[in-house]
Chain A
Amino acid sequence: MVVKREDIGIGVGLIILSIWLFWYVGRYRPVEIYIYGPDFFPKILAVMMVVLGLGLIINAVLGNSLKMGDRIDPKGFVRMLISVAICIGYLFLTNILGFATATFVFLFVLMTFLKQRGILIRIFSSMATALIVWGIFRYFLIIPMPEGWLF
């Protein structure tokens, strides 16, 4: 599948982003000796991105777009989104349950969701990993990790 349509869309998006950036950084006025002020470099980048965006569109119109090697699997994409949601839940749980406990729960839930067979393997892997990572940070690196009701 040739990504011509996608390249044109991305090119248009980049041009819009660059125009917005060029306009937005205009509010950062240069001051006295800083004549090359905070807006100088972002404006250069915005102009370069407009040129590259146009290049991408022209490339696509001329039929030189790359072939997309792999397609996104819709079911796999949903699986990925659910995993991100599980991760966000884990971040909230960390402050409630504590790092080690929340990590064990996170790993166990994710391994179960990914259909890892063998409940004992899941429990052992999750527990061992959580304890090892917690131990490395707590006792070897002495980096404080979030604490909650448990540890």
Chain B
Amino acid sequence: MQFDLLFEAFGKVMLNPINFFFVFIGVTSGIIVGALPGLTATMGVALLIPFTYGLDPVQGLIMLLGLFCGGIYGGSVSAILIGVPGTPSAAATILDGYVMGKKGLAGKAIGMATIASFFGGTVGALVMTFCSPQLAKIALKFGPPEFFALAFFGLGIIITVSGKSILKGLISGIFGLMITMIGFDPLSGCPRLTFGSIELLGGVTFIPALIGLFGYSQVFQGIEKILTLPTVKSELKNIIPKLNEIKSVFKTMVKSAGIGTFIGAVPGTGCDIAAFVSYGEARRSSKHPEKFGTGILEGVAAPETGNNAATGGAMIPMLTLGVPGDAVTAVLLGALTIHGFQPGPLLFRDHPEVVYPIFAGMILAQFVMLGVGLGGMRFFARIINIDRRIMTPIIFLLCVVGSYAMRFSFFDVGVSLIIGVIAYFMNYYEFPGSPILLALILGPMVEQNLRRSLIISHGDPLIFITRPISAAFIIIGIFIILTSYYRIKKAMEKEAKSVIAEKEKID
């Protein structure tokens, strides 16, 4: 680490107003793209790359980084306001953020999401700046058993996002894993459960499934209850969280930042896994796990810190090894190549004039995102005050367009509608949708790496225990499953007893 070059890069990037302008364009575009369901940060970065051809490489790259960070944050805006995650990484934010929105606290929730995203993104960027080579060495040790163990650990979070019934949460999770079986088998290429349909050869696409689970189901419920649901006016005063409120969630943010950065640094994972694991851990370790899901600030802070911390983490393997941390960094890798730079170990040696400004640009993007987010909060909060009879059709339209935009396919819109109808009934019978989403994210990773590991070990399952990193994840995963189960069960029994006691008092 050459500190003189680092400080010089910070000075050049942060003190040049033109750089600030490009980062602002990137962040604002990212927030818009992230807030629109169906449009992902990956798509936004890919679409913005051609605009960087005529720019100085550093300016072009920091604009793309701004879009990356803004896009991941932007998903929380629609998750909180309309209950549809703008990006997959904001799905965990719905669990408490949307509930806060329904209580008239949308502004506060967005404020918390902004501050948490800023905190997580800054921690991730700082870790990326100072610890890239060391973290990359650990990430390089991940093989199929480690990836399976990580996915097993991630699936254990299903217990914490199961809501009132862990059994029904597990059923949802297994159902989600079954959905991932549709399409080409990842190892042999054999088409499975396609029933002769060409469109299903690629499987059920993730974004339409996400929109169906969270978007259409909310829209259908909204249309069903449009005459009976009370109108909620969003509070527009005191929407920036108070200092004592931020202090109360600070410990959670620190933990989530660490979790998010680490998970982001593992190639092939991403911000969505980071968000769920952060949320799950926050709930598991909370003194009041029963309050999660009822609209609390901690339930917004944890996933938003985790997913934005993962942006910095995902850059680590991309820059140091030339291996993308997630889908967005895969596109960013392409952008670097287009501009004539080859990511990998030699990038630090041969082009420090690009690497260090990337570090500085990432941190600048967090401050710009904080400013734009806090500045736009009142405007965002007013959206909830629009008449439901106008908003519901607009959200319906966004769901249709979002599920179409991924592959320009009406088939995807149809699949999304069907999943939406199923999710609509699931909500009524207390089957949660979040485990299905977790399963869709982790299912392919679980199956591929389980089978690869067993092939490598000639069928010996001890391979997962004899490798230290894999064993660590399995043991931590089992520990988290057991402790989460007992803590949540205990908390729910306590809550049920207090409800009965209240009823007896009234009687």
A and B form one complex = yes
Q: State the A residues within 8 Å of B (CB).
A: 3, 6-7, 10, 14, 21, 24-25, 28, 31, 33-38, 40-42, 45, 48-49, 52-53, 55-56, 59, 66, 68-73, 76-77, 79-80, 83-84, 87, 90-91, 103, 106-107, 110-111, 114-116, 121, 125, 129, 133, 136-137, 140-144
State the CA gap A55–B170 with chains docked (Å): 11
**B451, CB-defined interface residue at 8 Å:** yes
User: Known contacts being A66-B165, A77-B224, is A10 close to B174, with CB within 8 Å?
Assistant: no
Given A45-B177, A45-B181, A83-B396, decide whether A38 and B190 contact each other with a Cβ distance below 8 A: yes
With A52-B167, A80-B224 in contact, do A137 and B405 touch (Cβ < 8 Å)? Answer: yes
Chain B contact-residue range equals 35 or more
* A110 pairs with B190, CB closer than 8 A: no
Residues of A contacting B: mostly? helix
Given the known inter-chain contacts A56-B167, A116-B389, please indicate yes or no for A83 contacting B188, CB distance below 8 A.
no
- B223 near A76 (CB under 8 angstroms)? yes
With a cutoff of 8 Å between Cβ atoms, the chain B residues found around residue A129 in the complex are 394, 397
B27 part of interface (Cβ distance < 8 Å): no
Tell whether, in the assembled complex, residue A107 and residue B397 are in contact, meaning their CB atoms are under 8 Å apart.
yes
- CB neighbours (8 Å) of A107 from chain B are 393-394, 397
Residues of chain A contacted by B224 (CB below 8 angstroms): 72-73, 76-77, 79-80
**Complex Cα distance A53/B187, Å?**
29
Whether the pair B174, A45 counts as a contact (CB closer than 8 A) is yes
Contact of A34 among B174, B188, B447 (CB under 8 A): B188
15 A-B residue contacts at CB 8 Å? Answer: A25-B193, A31-B188, A34-B455, A38-B187, A41-B447, A41-B450, A42-B192, A66-B164, A68-B429, A70-B428, A76-B225, A76-B227, A76-B228, A91-B400, A141-B43
**B94 vs chain A, min Cβ distance (A):** 18
Q: B454: CB under 8 A from chain A?
A: yes
- CB-CB under 8 A from B188, the residues of chain A are 31, 34, 37-38
In the complex, what distance in Å separates the CA atom of A85 from the CA atom of B451? 43
**B400→A116 contact, CB < 8 A:** no
State in angstroms the CA–CA spacing of A48 and B36 once bound together: 37
Across the interface, name the chain B residue whose C-beta is closest to A142: B47
Known: A49-B175, A141-B43. 6 other contacts (CB 8 A): A36-B450, A42-B193, A45-B178, A73-B225, A91-B413, A143-B405
Q: Is the CB of A87 within 8 A of B417?
A: yes
- CB contact between B228 and one of A41, A68, A73 (< 8 Å): that residue: A73
Q: What does the 1/0 interface line of B433-455 toward A look like (CB < 8 Å)? A: 00000000000001100110011
- Tell whether A3 pairs with B429 under 8 Å between CB atoms, given A45-B178, A110-B396, A121-B390: yes
- The answer on a CB contact under 8 Å between A55 and B392 is no
Which residues of A sit under 8 angstroms from B447, Cβ to Cβ?
A: 41
Q: Which of B192, B390, B424 has the most CB of A within 10 A?
A: B390
Q: Does B220 contact A (CB under 8 A)?
A: yes
Assembled-state Cα–Cα distance A24/B225 (Å): 40
B353 CB-CB contact with A under 8 Å: no
Chain B residue nearest to A91 (CB atoms) is: B410
- Please determine whether B454 and A59 come into contact, CB atoms closer than 8 angstroms: no
Q: Bound complex: CA of A40 vs CA of B225, how far in Å?
A: 44
Mark out the residues of chain B between 43 and 63 whose CB falls within 8 Å of any chain A CB in the assembled complex. Answer: 43, 47
Residues of A contacting B227 in the complex (Cβ-Cβ under 8 angstroms):
76
| A136 CA / B424 CA spacing, docked (Å) | 30
How far is it, in angstroms, between the C-alpha of A114 and the C-alpha of B175 when the chains are bound? 34
Q: Which of B29, B33, B225 has the most CB of A within 10 A?
A: B225
B residues less than 8 Å from A80 (CB atoms): 220, 223-224, 424
Q: A42 contacts B178, CB within 8 Å?
A: yes
Q: Flag if B192 contacts A25 (CB, 8 Å).
A: yes
Q: Name which of B177, B393, B410 has the most chain A CB atoms within 10 A of its CB.
A: B393
Q: Chain B residues with Cβ under 8 A from A35's Cβ?
A: 455, 459
Residue of B at shortest CB range from A9?
Answer: B429
B33 to chain A, nearest CB (A): 8
Expressed in whole angstroms, the Cα–Cα distance for A113 and B394 within the complex equals 14
Q: How far is the CB of A52 from chain B (nearest CB, A)?
A: 5
Known contacts A111-B390, A142-B47; A49 and B178 CB within 8 A of each other = yes
B408 within 8 Å of A by Cβ? Answer: yes
Residue B381 lies at the interface, judged by CB distance under 8 Å to chain A: no
How far apart are A96's CB and chain B's nearest CB, in angstroms?
13
In the complex, B421 has a CB within 8 A of chain A: yes
Smallest Cβ-Cβ distance to A25: which chain B residue: B192
Contacts of B39 in A (CB 8 A): 141
Chain B residues with Cβ below 8 Å from A87 are: 396, 400, 417
Chain B residues with Cβ below 8 Å from A49 are 171, 174-175, 178
Chain B nearest CB, measured from A91 CB (Å): 6
Q: Which residues B391-407 have CB closer than 8 A to chain A?
A: 392-394, 396-398, 400-401, 405
Cβ-based interface call for B291 (8 A):
no
